[in-house]
């Protein structure tokens, strides 16, 4: 039985995953690229297609059968996870040493009558291609780009529920930790407390390296937490997320600690907040991802900070924290119901600080639904 955390912190059972329909959809795409089998080596894609989350394994998908190979460390785990995903009958499993795995793959290719085996070009090194070519000979190898990733863009109800649970955990953790910003703690202390709180609230891991950047450090979009103490008047960017059963959340908030005279970053915050809200409002099925970016970028440019917004407006989120589609300048991807993307414009002024506001949203037919829900109020009192 799997559980997530509600916004109130009470465990709840998650919506079941819909794994069984993924192999048939992949087979249709394999036919389209002209292959007769597909060798999946990207472990995230192996997990998506089978439910198996081990650190070693490959999946060969033919027209009528599929074979997962892994080593003895995962004998029990593979059986349990494929069963839980309802894939025990759809996927044969072989557990053994590397040479034996290769022999099983070669036998399966022969049994399938496979002539052309598609590879994931982005996850296969030149050396790996040579080795695969040797043990799958005489089958011809052909490169493909983002075939499984194309399927992963549309999230089913189970995936969305896990991402919602991850976001709720992150929201709860930030609520616990936020007061530390007014207690003269260091960036490292706040980041560690946030990571610990997410674990305590049920996350299996953080979604990525947590960012806590204060004062001038906030002008660096991917600043690492430092020993710098956070003091009154500081603006602080926090970018973080939680992981629930492999699925990730991603959220950024910017806070101002204590009072003080209004400055340039107060104006920046107002503009970024408006741009972010406008970008979220632009998200809906049928909209070009690049149009969401331009909606945010134009407002920031009008305020005079176009050069200070140096990254894309967002990206897809799922089993990876950065996945398709890209929400950036010139992106031609068309958003569809079930896509999950971030909207995260930012402005960064070297030597001064920065502001970024980000939500993860699920695309719907008539708009989008925010998965992240923490307040965007920037005020944090000092103690």
What are the residue boundaries of the structural domains of the chain, listed by start? 22-152, 157-380
Q: What is the pLDDT of residue 11?
A: 60
Residue pair 77/52 in contact by the 8 Å Cβ criterion:
yes
CATH number of 22-152: 3.40.350.10
Q: How much of the chain, in percent, has pLDDT values that exceed 90?
A: 90
| Average pLDDT, integer, range 193-215 | 98
What is the pLDDT confidence band of residue 382, given thresholds at 50, 70 and 90? confident
What is the model's pLDDT at position 2?
38
CATH placement of domain 157-380: 3.90.230.10
Q: Which residue has the higher pLDDT, 48 or 138?
A: 48
Q: What is the C-alpha separation between 61 and 91, in angstroms, rounded?
A: 9
Tell me phi and psi for residue 114, to 5 degrees.
-75, 130
pLDDT in tens, 145-203: 999 999 999 999 999 999 999 999 999 999 999 999 999 999 999 999 999 999 999 99
Statement: the pTM of the whole predicted model exceeds 0.85: yes
- Residues 287-310: what's their mean pLDDT? 98
Judged by average pLDDT, the poorest of 134-138, 164-168, 254-258, 275-279 is 134-138
- 157-380 shares the fold of 22-152: no
How many CA atoms within 13 Å lie on the side-chain side of 162? 20
Please tell me the predicted confidence (pLDDT) of residue 370. 98
Encode pLDDT of 217-232 as tens digits.
999 999 999 999 999 9
- 117 has pLDDT over 60: yes
pLDDT, position 9? 46
Q: Which pLDDT does position 261 carry in this prediction? A: 62
pLDDT computed for residue 260 by the predictor:
66
Average pLDDT of every residue of the chain: 94
Please report which confidence band the pLDDT of residue 6 belongs to, taking 50, 70 and 90 as the band edges. very low
């Amino acid at each position: 039985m799997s559980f997530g955390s509600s916004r109130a912190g009470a465990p709840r059972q998650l919506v079941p995953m819909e794994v069984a329909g993924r192999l048939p959809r992949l087979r249709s795409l394999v036919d389209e690229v002209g292959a007769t089998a597909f060798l999946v080596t990207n472990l995230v894609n192996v997990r998506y297609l089978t439910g198996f989350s081990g650190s070693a394994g490959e999946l060969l998908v033919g027209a009528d059968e599929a074979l997962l190979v892994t080593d003895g460390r995962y004998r029990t785990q593979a059986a349990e996870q494929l069963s839980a995903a309802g894939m025990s009958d759809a996927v044969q499993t072989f557990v053994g040493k590397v040479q034996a795995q290769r022999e099983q793959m070669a036998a399966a290719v022969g049994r399938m009558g496979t002539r052309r085996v598609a590879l994931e070009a982005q996850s296969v090194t030149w050396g790996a291609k040579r080795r695969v070519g040797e043990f799958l000979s005489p089958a011809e190898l052909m490169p493909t780009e983002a075939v499984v990733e194309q399927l992963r863009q549309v999230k089913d109800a189970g995936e969305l529920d896990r991402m919602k649970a991850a976001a709720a955990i992150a929201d709860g953790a930030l609520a616990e930790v936020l007061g530390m910003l007014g207690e003269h703690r260091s960036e490292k202390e706040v980041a560690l407390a946030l990571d610990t709180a997410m674990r305590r609230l049920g996350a299996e891991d953080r979604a990525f390296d947590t960012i806590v950047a204060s004062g001038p450090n906030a002008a660096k979009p991917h600043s690492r937490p430092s020993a710098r103490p956070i003091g009154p008047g500081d603006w602080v960017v926090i970018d973080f997320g939680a992981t629930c059963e492999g699925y990730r959340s991603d959220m950024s908030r910017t806070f101002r600690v204590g009072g003080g005279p209004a400055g340039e970053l107060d104006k920046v915050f107002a503009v970024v907040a408006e741009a972010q809200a406008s970008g979220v409002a632009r998200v809906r099925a049928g909209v070009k991802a690049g149009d969401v970016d331009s909606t945010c970028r134009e407002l920031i440019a009008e305020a005079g900070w176009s050069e200070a917004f140096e990254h894309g407006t967002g990206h897809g989120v799922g089993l990876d924290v950065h996945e398709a589609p890209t929400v950036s300048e010139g992106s031609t991807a068309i958003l569809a119901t079930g896509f999950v993307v971030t909207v995260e414009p930012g402005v960064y002024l070297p030597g001064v600080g920065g502001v970024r506001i980000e939500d993860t949203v699920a695309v719907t037919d008539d708009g989008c639904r925010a998965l992240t829900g923490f307040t965007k109020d920037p005020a944090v009192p000092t103690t």
